[in-house]
DNA sequence: CTGAAAGCGCTTACAG
DNA sequence: CTGAAAGCGCTTACAG
């Protein structure tokens, strides 16, 4: 690998001038610029990022901290990561995925090594130990998600209110009046303070009340098997249900299959609408699920860009909330009662 | 952050001695050691990995190159990554995930920056452009998977022969005599030279012949939807089939659901046995699938360890092939014909 | 617009 | 067993 000194020698300039050109940090005369660029091309020069990092005290590496123990890493998460990595690359940063625990211990360990300029925090808890670690060490960070205390914290998140409102409105407009929310299992220690589960539950209670709907919430863990059980519970305890909203994507697959196993047609007897899912997972179900599509690509990108602005001292982006959007599939239809009674118009 | 110089000052030694102790690279007197360790503890010292990297010309960072465009990143892949990251950490390395294209262009770009000591290659093609790039740049690497040309290349892979042999034997012993392999779509440019698809196909043809079974192969892409179509094709063109082996995990979900949609009971009418799947995905199906479990955790670890030995100049690990192992679920049973005719013993 | 030089925080021959 | 010093390949005041 050629070094900057070799480029400078070949171009007949000093190493400083090469650096100025490369970083666009001081003006360089056109003729000089041409000679340097020629020399770089001739030598196939690529700047050594390690040396740059040491000299500038900026590694240009961003870590995406993902609690792989507590949360499955699936297609949904991959979307966040891939879009974040892409956004980082566009701004001359590397984004690396760090599987670190929720408690902040590993994170502190890693931060001490000075490898990263900043951290994108995934799967944020309402009161997140990692935030404390990041603040103590003075590490810039952005959250994809939100703690309860937010003052001064850079973040982006799903707009749960709009997501739930749109989902409920869609079902309501089709004529559904008896909904069930399959919510998270808040007894599970991984989730009792997990933002999305809490916020979706809160939003649902409020919005269902606005529509004067009876509020029925079934708790359910984040597995297909748990979804089966939730389906059984719905059929047994809430036989009049015409539509089911499901928070977790794995549970949603289970609810659908579970309803079918119990002889219910989806969407003939019951509609199923997952609140946070990606098309790939929706396609795993039969019928293919109608979903509120997780805005992973947008949020991965926005979160990373927010952090980078922070790192570069630019004016911070305002916190952004992005709703999941309805993507039609085959699991939502009009309720039988509506077709019979003519509710829902059109 | 404390620096090594500060530690040295506090312990009353030279910076070199601290370094020798930290790297265990020269003997240090017990008393000196105690003083240094005390100083490090007092200051909460953590070695700066960037400075270490520049001085030693070793970053201790390993990149896992994953072609995110060409291959979905799902739960299966996450297993490889997580176990590889864990193995790396145990040996004092960082493993970072790099989404880079199959053609080697991005890889070359990234390697030039000098950020990584070595690369773990995922989703290897039979003739992989990335291997050329790695060789040209002199970058140490290990493959999880195999090119056709293998001389001198560090690699680990799935033992497709044993996997297919065990799967076929299991079905054969249960009494199945009419099998179908749902194979990859080799017309798909992403896959026509993709090792696993080619090798499983080859192994199946050989092993089925050994069992004197008729060889039926249905091509199918890597989506649930494609699996539905494969199911239809099986029912239509191969009505006597009693068991289906499926290469791709998404396709396997689709085959199962597709058979059910066509009124077939799984496993009553047909058994379904995916050849490469993780339990999480198997649980998404109803009934839960019996699978050959992808040895992701073993291979991620072995591949990383092979690379690290290479990096440290230790005797190389021999190439290792690890078979997928049968994990019982509810999608494989005896064929109706066997129960009727008493084939299959016991 | 360009250059000489200090310095980032370590590792590593070399010397003792 | 320990230390003085060069050097890794850059960036960045400072000076001109």
Give the nucleotide with minimal C1' distance to the Cα of A26: C1
Question: Across residues B32-47, what is the average pLDDT?
Answer: 93
Q: Which parts of chain A sit beneath pLDDT 50?
A: 340-346
Handedness of CA A227, A232, A238, A244 (dihedral sign): positive
Rounded-to-integer distance, Cα A278 and Cα A283, Å: 9
Does position B27 have pLDDT exceeding 60, yes or no?
Answer: yes
To the nearest whole percent, how much of chain B has pLDDT over 90? 76
CA of A15 to C1' of D12 (A): 12
Min distance B59 CA to chain A CA atoms (Å): 8
Does position B148 have pLDDT exceeding 90, yes or no?
Answer: yes
What radius of gyration, in Å, describes the C-alpha atoms of chain A? 25
CB A253 within 8 Å of CB A226: no
Q: Give, for B322, the enclosing helix (H) or strand (E).
A: strand B320-322
Q: Domain ranges for chain B, please list them.
A: 4-47, 61-158+296-322, 160-294+327-341
Q: How many other C-beta atoms can be found within 10 angstroms of the C-beta atom of residue A236?
A: 9
Does position B289 have pLDDT exceeding 80, yes or no?
Answer: yes
- Helix spans in chain B (H): 4-11, 15-23, 30-43, 49-56, 75-90, 105-111, 129-136, 160-174, 195-210, 224-237, 249-261, 279-282, 296-311, 336-341
The answer to whether the Cβ–Cβ distance between B59 and A73 falls below 8 Å is: no
What pLDDT, on the 0 to 100 scale, is given for residue A317?
85
Min distance B320 CA to chain A CA atoms (Å): 26
Give the CATH number of domain A61-158+296-324. Answer: 3.40.50.2300
Nucleotides of C under 7 A from a protein CB: 1-5, 7-13
Q: Which of B49, B112, B283 sits opposite A1 (nearest CB)?
A: B112
Q: How many other C-beta atoms can be found within 10 angstroms of the C-beta atom of residue B26?
A: 10
**pLDDT digits over B200-255, tens only?**
999 999 999 999 999 999 999 988 889 999 999 999 999 999 999 999 999 999 99
What pLDDT, on the 0 to 100 scale, is given for residue B338?
55
User: Coil, helix or strand for B18?
Assistant: helix
Range list of β-strands (E), chain A: 61-66, 94-99, 118-121, 141-144, 155-158, 179-184, 217-220, 243-246, 271-274, 291-293, 320-322, 325-327
* Chain B interface disruption, residue of A77, A97, A330, most B CBs within 10 A: A97
CA distances from B192 to A80, B125, B177, B183, B227 (A): 29, 9, 29, 11, 18
Asked whether residue B14's C-beta has any atom of DNA/RNA strand D within 7 A, the reply is yes
Min distance B281 CA to chain A CA atoms (Å): 9
The answer to whether the Cβ–Cβ distance between A48 and B114 falls below 8 Å is: yes
Rounded-to-integer distance, Cα A39 and Cα B270, Å: 67
Domain B61-158+296-322 has CATH 3.30.460.20: no
* pLDDT class of B189 with cuts at 50, 70, 90: confident
Question: Across residues B329-345, what is the average pLDDT?
Answer: 70
What pLDDT, on the 0 to 100 scale, is given for residue B341?
47
CATH class in words for B160-294+327-341: alpha beta
DSSP character for B180?
A: E
Min distance A213 CA to chain B CA atoms (Å): 31
The sheet that has B271-274: what strands, in order across it?
A: B217-220, B179-184, B243-246, B271-274
Same fold: B61-158+296-322 with B160-294+327-341: yes
Rounded-to-integer distance, Cα B164 and Cα B328, Å: 16
Q: With beta carbons under 8 A apart, name residues in chain B contacting A261.
A: 286
Interface of B with A in 104-143 (CB under 8 A): 109, 112-115
Question: Across residues B278-304, what is the average pLDDT?
Answer: 93
What pLDDT, on the 0 to 100 scale, is given for residue A76?
87
What pLDDT, on the 0 to 100 scale, is given for residue A158?
97
What radius of gyration, in Å, describes the C-alpha atoms of chain B? 25
The answer to whether the Cβ–Cβ distance between A51 and B49 falls below 8 Å is: no
Q: With beta carbons under 8 A apart, name residues in chain A contacting B223.
A: 283
CB B59 within 8 Å of CB B116: yes
C-alpha closest to that of B222 among B250, B256, B257: B250
What pLDDT, on the 0 to 100 scale, is given for residue A338?
56
φ/ψ (deg, to 5) at A270: -140, 140
Using the Cβ of A26 and the Cβ atoms of chain B, whether some distance falls under 8 Å is answered with no
Task: Fold for B4-47, please state it.
Answer: 434 Repressor (Amino-terminal Domain) (1.10.260)
Task: Say how many CA atoms lie within 13 Å of B245 toward its Cβ.
Answer: 34
Question: Across residues B32-58, what is the average pLDDT?
Answer: 94
CB B208 within 8 Å of CB B176: no
Asked whether residue B31's C-beta has any atom of DNA/RNA strand D within 7 A, the reply is yes
The sheet that has B61-66: what strands, in order across it?
A: B94-99, B61-66, B118-121, B141-144, B155-158, B320-322
Q: How many other C-beta atoms can be found within 10 angstroms of the C-beta atom of residue B345?
A: 8
């Amino acid at each position: 690998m050629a070094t900057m000194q070799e480029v400078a020698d070949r171009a007949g300039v000093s190493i400083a001038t090469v650096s100025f050109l490369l970083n666009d940090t001081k003006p360089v005369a056109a003729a000089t610029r041409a000679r340097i660029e020629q020399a770089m091309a001739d030598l196939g020069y690529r700047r050594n990022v390690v040396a740059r990092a040491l000299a500038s005290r900026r590694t240009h590496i961003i870590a995406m901290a993902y609690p792989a123990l507590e949360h499955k890493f699936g297609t949904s998460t991959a979307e966040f990561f891939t879009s974040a990595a892409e956004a980082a690359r566009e701004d001359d940063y590397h984004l690396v995925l760090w599987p670190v625990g929720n408690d902040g211990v590993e994170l502190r360990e890693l931060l001490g090594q000075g490898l990263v300029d900043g951290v994108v925090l995934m799967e944020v808890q309402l009161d997140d130990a990692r935030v404390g670690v990041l603040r103590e060490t003075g590490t810039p960070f952005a959250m994809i998600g939100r703690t309860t205390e937010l003052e001064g914290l850079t973040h982006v998140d799903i707009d749960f209110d709009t997501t739930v409102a749109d989902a409920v409105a869609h079902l309501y407009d089709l004529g559904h009046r008896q909904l069930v929310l399959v919510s998270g299992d808040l007894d599970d220690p991984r989730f009792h303070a997990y933002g999305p589960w809490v916020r979706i539950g809160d939003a649902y209670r409020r919005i269902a009340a606005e529509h004067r709907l009876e509020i029925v919430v079934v708790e359910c863990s984040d597995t297909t098997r748990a979804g089966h059980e939730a389906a059984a519970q719905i059929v047994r305890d809430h036989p009049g249900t015409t539509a089911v909203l499901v928070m977790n994507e794995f549970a949603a697959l289970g609810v659908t299959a579970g309803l079918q196993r119990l002889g219910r047609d989806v969407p003939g007897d019951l509609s199923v609408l997952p609140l946070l899912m990606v098309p790939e997972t929706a396609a795993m179900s039969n019928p293919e699920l109608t979903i509120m599509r997780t805005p992973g690509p947008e949020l991965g990108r926005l979160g990373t860009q927010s952090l980078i602005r922070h790192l570069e001292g630019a004016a911070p982006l305002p916190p952004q909330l992005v709703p999941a959007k309805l993507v039609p599939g085959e699991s939502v239809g009009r309720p039988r009662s509506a077709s019979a009674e003519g509710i829902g118009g059109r």
